[in-house]
Structure 1
């Protein structure tokens, strides 16, 4: 009894012959009309731009990559490779609206995280404009004064020239920040409430930062890329306001 040979998916010709087997053991076919080689019911399929857009939006929510792959019924390996390339291209510099040279108020804080295991601590240092709520400085590194200094240097020049900076009493800040512009305050003052609230937002939206999770990063570059990706989205989504009540 002869076995029906499938039509060519490219030109729909029925002039198709068997052409060996793939490395996975599936029967391979070749079309004599257009030369296309194919298998029946292929597992591989082209990922549409629409699906990529959905993935980009899901990466901004508290979802692991395996969950995204399951929800969209695509390969987890493909999602990981897509994310690797996406995070490699993410810009590592804040994008903020232009500011006039006038008194500015910045709140700073640091957020604990880790990569691969809890022994590899990576602290997320953040600076926030108290008026516009924009994230105006970011650095990811250790918990030292050198990291605090790098956070300071990551601020746009107008902030380094004009801003008064409020932080907690962590010893790295007085070493790294100009003494005339730095104010160490307690939580009861409310002077760091906006940055502390953003820390909570970041933990709730970036699955790699959730304290009890299996979504932690195994690669530092992706860890940094995921945080920067969310921060760019966050800044872009803020309303254009000139000032907010403190």
Structure 2
């Protein structure tokens, strides 16, 4: 087995962070799907560690949080129909990625992959708190799980917390029978703001930035694209792809409104990281020569 050069690794990661699937990257690079997958796994693990070690002690004041849906191998309603014995049904089904963004620097402060339960909410909010230096104003959607998670983690006196609930009308208000209407966004009919703790400034109660980040995730990770067969087949690889995306977004991608990366705006980095820097995060093992495995065994 021949090892990929740094240039090849940079090229393949470039495909992945710009929204290509593993197989598309395999076709364009001429490398096998197994090679592409291994590169994702190695780099994803390194990115998880890099985020934990570098995104902390933040002087953030305004945070928006949300959760975005996807699924692994099959949607919840079809998990029982899985016949492939190699698939762990406990790791299949709907999966939610919880994300928190700094409204000023646009930095992804924290993310968590799990279900949409109170347990996941608490894990997510606990991780968020551990990365902050000071009091924040937090805005989330109307999910009830946030309330218990935030109050039990921060307490009522240590955070300014508000929720914004949005109600949507029928996606077919005129009775249009065309099937493509099903894929159009439903019209927003009502917005309700509720103060939960502290004294949140009503001017900054919004989830616009984090909802825009949801679009960025769907555009830059093929496995989040709906109505395709590019969905994740393994939970672990799903998490590695997310870790790669957020390191690329935070440290490499120039934000158009800021004209620097979110990490630079937040004071975490002085320069823009490159894909080669991300490649160098992963420890690359030299490929074993033919017969070396039997000799060592």
Give TM-score, length-normalised by structure 1: 0.72
Mapped pair 1:68 → 2:25 = yes
Deviation for aligned residue 1:212: 1.7
Deviation for aligned residue 1:113: 0.9
Q: Structure 1 residue aligned with 2:72, among 115, 121, 136?
A: 115
Inter-CA distance 80–241: structure 2 relative to 1 (3 Å threshold): closer
- Structure 1: 5+ residue stretches without partners: 1-43
Mapped pair 1:47 → 2:4 = yes
Cα RMSD (Å) of the superposition? 2.4
Deviation for aligned residue 1:159: 2.9
Deviation for aligned residue 1:45: 5.6
Inter-CA distance 160–121: structure 2 relative to 1 (3 Å threshold): farther
User: Could you tell me which residue of structure 2 aligns to residue 37 of structure 1?
Assistant: none
User: Could you tell me which residue of structure 2 aligns to residue 146 of structure 1?
Assistant: 119
Q: Structure 1 residue aligned with 2:163, among 184, 201, 221?
A: 184
Q: Structure 2 residue aligned with 1:84, among 33, 41, 51?
A: 41
Whether the 8 Å contact between 2:72 and 2:233 is mirrored in structure 1 is: yes
User: Could you tell me which residue of structure 1 aligns to residue 128 of structure 2?
Assistant: 155
- Structure 2: 5+ residue stretches without partners: 77-92, 167-190, 194-204, 253-260, 268-297
Q: Structure 2 residue aligned with 1:128, among 101, 105, 112?
A: 101
Q: Structure 1 residue aligned with 2:139, among 143, 166, 169?
A: 166
User: Could you tell me which residue of structure 2 aligns to residue 215 of structure 1?
Assistant: 230
Deviation for aligned residue 1:98: 4.8
Q: Distance in 2 between matches of 1:65 and 1:224?
A: 14
Deviation for aligned residue 1:97: 6.9
User: Could you tell me which residue of structure 1 aligns to residue 241 of structure 2?
Assistant: 226
Give TM-score, length-normalised by structure 2: 0.61
Inter-CA distance 242–137: structure 2 relative to 1 (3 Å threshold): closer
Q: Distance in 1 between matches of 2:29 and 2:58?
A: 42
User: Could you tell me which residue of structure 1 aligns to residue 274 of structure 2?
Assistant: none
State the number of aligned residues. 198
Q: Distance in 1 between matches of 2:266 and 2:250?
A: 14
Whether the 8 Å contact between 1:136 and 1:156 is mirrored in structure 2 is: no
With a CA cutoff of 8 Å and minimum separation of 6, indicate the structure with the bigger relative contact order.
2
The 3-state SS of whatever aligns with 2:132 is helix
User: Could you tell me which residue of structure 1 aligns to residue 212 of structure 2?
Assistant: 197
Inter-CA distance 242–50: structure 2 relative to 1 (3 Å threshold): closer
